[in-house]
């Protein structure tokens, strides 16, 4: 089993094939390892941690909503989050988005994480401050983070996924040490943890071991992992 952690830059589709009539880049421009597939997606205008694997069962295990893997995002928003504690509470409690209520989330204001400037840089308005949130979700509906922050009047300007929790009691897989566009193979300990997820269980017997393709995601990020 080959499994990679990739820091997806802004402007890159979560698929290996380019999309007709689209200027976004694709994964093939960064990753030459054959037969790996994204386990969950990030929209082209989102950045951060993308896990790719050659194992179809692992891909499905990590994306099936019944297992509720927490995914952590750092979100730069327009407005001062600390001045709106009610907005954070609404994010935590769940919101009605496109007629469906989101699951309870973990949300808190954080200090500026001092990340490298995005290319292209975010828009800035001199009269409107920006701030950062840490938001953790157990689901990955289309453009969910952006829709949630917009619903509480804190529009998203920049979005990075920084961690994926394997829900095994150990530390999440994190983006640490990977610059935008870089990837690495999981280490021995991480590989063992991922293999442990595939041990037969009653829950796993209900899931077919299908595999997603190296295409998909699209301009709008359909099938995205919340970003």
Q: Count CB neighbours of 36 within 10 A.
A: 22
Residue located via tokens 């994010």:
91
With beta carbons less than 8 A apart as the criterion, state whether 42 and 204 touch. Answer: no
Q: With CA atoms as reference, report the closest residue to 58 among 170, 217, 207, 218.
A: 207
Strands (DSSP E) found in the chain:
3-8, 37-38, 47-53, 71-78, 96-97, 100-101, 106-110, 130-137, 156-164, 173-174, 183-185
**What's the CA dihedral at 157, 144, 176, 39 to 10 degrees?**
-140
* Dihedral pair phi/psi, residue 203, rounded to 5°: -65, -40
Instruction: Give Cα 28 distance to the centre of its chain.
Output: 19
Q: Which of the following is catalytic: 43, 45, 165, 168?
A: 43
Q: With CA atoms as reference, report the closest residue to 70 among 183, 165, 140, 148.
A: 165
Let me know if 43 is a catalytic residue. yes
DSSP string of 11-30, one letter each residue = TB-SSSS--TT---B-GGGT
Residues marked as catalytic = 43
């Amino acid at each position: 089993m080959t499994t990679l952690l990739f820091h997806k830059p802004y402007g890159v589709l979560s698929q290996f094939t380019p999309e007709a009539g689209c200027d976004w880049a694709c994964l093939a421009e960064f990753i030459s390892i054959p037969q790996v597939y994204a386990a969950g997606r990030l929209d082209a205008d989102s950045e951060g941690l993308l896990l790719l694997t050659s194992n179809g069962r692992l891909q499905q295990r990590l994306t099936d909503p019944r297992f509720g893997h927490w995914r952590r995002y750092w979100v730069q928003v327009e407005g001062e989050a600390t001045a709106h504690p009610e907005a954070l509470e609404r994010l935590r409690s769940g919101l009605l988005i496109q007629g469906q209520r989101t699951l309870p989330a973990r949300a808190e204001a954080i200090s500026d994480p001092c990340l490298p400037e995005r290319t292209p840089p975010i828009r800035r308005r001199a009269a409107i401050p920006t701030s950062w949130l840490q938001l953790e979700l157990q689901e990955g509906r289309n453009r969910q983070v952006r829709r949630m922050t917009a619903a509480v009047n804190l529009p998203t300007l920049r979005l990075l996924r920084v961690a994926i929790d394997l829900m095994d009691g150990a530390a999440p897989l994190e983006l640490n040490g990977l610059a935008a566009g870089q990837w690495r193979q999981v280490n021995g300990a991480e590989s063992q943890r991922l293999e442990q997820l595939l041990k037969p269980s009653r829950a796993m017997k209900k899931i077919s071991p299908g595999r997603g393709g190296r295409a998909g995601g699209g301009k709008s990020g359909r099938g995205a992992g919340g970003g």
